Amino acid sequence: MSTLQNNIPITQGLFGTTELDETRSAAIKKTYALLSLSVVAAIAGGFIGAKTPALVQF
């Protein structure tokens, strides 16, 4: 655990705000970008799978 996690009470961690440094902000942006990419890929894969006759018959 990092020292930041040890010093924040649980209620402030859930409902409060904390200052982000540049590296943590970049990591959060990268995480959400990858999450968005995976959601788009899942939707596209589901659409393709539902429309492909071979997969529909499977």
pLDDT tens-digit series, residues 11-50: 766 776 778 889 999 999 999 999 999 999 999 999 998 9
* pLDDT for position 57: 84
Q: How far is CA 43 from the centre of its chain?
A: 15
Q: How many Å from the N-terminal Cα to the C-terminal Cα in the chain?
A: 47
Q: Model pTM greater than 0.85? A: no
- Residue 58: DSSP 8-state: -
DSSP string, 3-31: HHHHHS-HHHHHHS-----HHHHHHHHHH
